[in-house]
Amino acid sequence: MEKYKVRNKLRKLRFLNGEMTQEQLAEKAGVTRQTIIAIEGSKYAPSLELAFKIALAFGVPLGEVFSYEIGDE
Amino acid sequence: MSIRKIYISVSLVSTLLILGYYLLNLIPMMRQGDLNSEDVFRLAAIAIIASIVLNIAGNILTNIVIHIIHAIQTQSDKEVRLIEDERDKLISLKGAQVSYVAFSLGVLASMLAFVLGQPALVMFCLIIFFSLLAEICGDLAQFYYYSRGS
């Protein structure tokens, strides 16, 4: 059975938002920098609420930040 | 090393110290075969109280040290962000679950020792031992989950 995984474009979006730092994004989303690092590395799938907060921080729809794709572990 | 990992390390070290103290006092008693309830209960009480006190003192000291290091590194009086987000709560819950399973198995093993003919005092000693071991397992699990990401 194919294994799906939550993927994200945090790195790209941070770059497009004037090289926003992980710390700045963490502050906007109300989480720790370690959590942003874990999400960016696809090691942690955020809750729906946190995913919305992150999308809101970038000012884009949720689908532009996160996607659900077949993982390659 | 993240701030959470530092807190877990402090808790781990303090529990290991208590476990060491507990075993160092208990094993000679068992070897000499003079397990009496007063000494065993006193030792258990010391272990439990010391565990609580050491954990609190460790957390306060860690807090102070973290703030000092942060102030030196950033050269400002801006406070360290010590928030507990959803990932921290999830990892804390996973750690508690590991602790709970370890303690349940420990209690089961202690009861088994009682059923197999060991005195009730030995069962009590084993329960205290497994409660400390369960706390260590929980801390190790949290450490592992933080290293893995979640």
**Interface contacts (A, B; CB < 8 Å):** 38
Predicted confidence (pLDDT) per residue in B78-97, tens digit: 777 778 899 999 999 999 99
Domains and CATH numbers, chain A: 4-70 (1.10.260.40)
- CA-nearest of B52, B44, B50 to B121 is B44
Find, among B99, B138, B95, B124, the residue nearest to B30 by Cα.
Answer: B124
Closest approach of A73 to chain B, Cα-based (Å): 14
Judge: B148–A43 Cβ closer than 8 Å, yes or no: yes
Cβ–Cβ < 8 Å for A6, A66 = yes
Domain limits at B77?
3-148
pLDDT at B81: 73
How many domains, in total, are found in chain B?
1
Is residue A62 predicted with pLDDT exceeding 90? yes
Per-residue model confidence as pLDDT tens digits over A9-59: 999 999 999 999 999 999 999 999 999 999 999 999 999 999 999 999 999
pLDDT attached to residue B2: 82
**How many angstroms away from the CA of B104 is the closest CA of chain A?**
29
> Which pLDDT does position B82 carry in this prediction?
79
B148 to chain A, any CB pair closer than 8 A? The answer is yes
Whether chain A has a CB inside 8 Å of the CB on B39: the answer is no
Reduce the DSSP state of residue A72 to 3 states and report it. coil
A69: which strand partners? A5
Separation CA B110–CA B124 (nearest Å) = 8
Q: Considering only CB atoms, which chain A residues are within 8 Å of B146?
A: 34
Q: What pLDDT is attached to residue A73? A: 53
Angle (CA) B46 B49 B54, round 5°: 110
Tell me the mean pLDDT per 10 residues along chain B, length 150. Answer: 88 94 92 86 93 92 88 78 89 96 97 94 94 96 90
CA A28 vs CA A52, A55, A62, B98, B127: distances in Å: 12, 10, 16, 33, 46
* Rounded percentage of chain B residues whose pLDDT exceeds 90: 70
pLDDT at A72: 63
Q: How far is A25 from chain B (nearest CA, A)?
A: 13
- Say what the pLDDT of residue A56 is: 95
User: What's the confidence (pLDDT) of residue B70?
Assistant: 82
| Six token digits for residue A15 | 């770059």
Give contacts of B7 with chain A, Cβ < 8 Å: none
Question: What letter would DSSP give residue A42?
Answer: T
pLDDT at residue B78, rounded to an integer: 74
For residues B138 and B146, the answer to whether their CB atoms sit within 8 Å is no
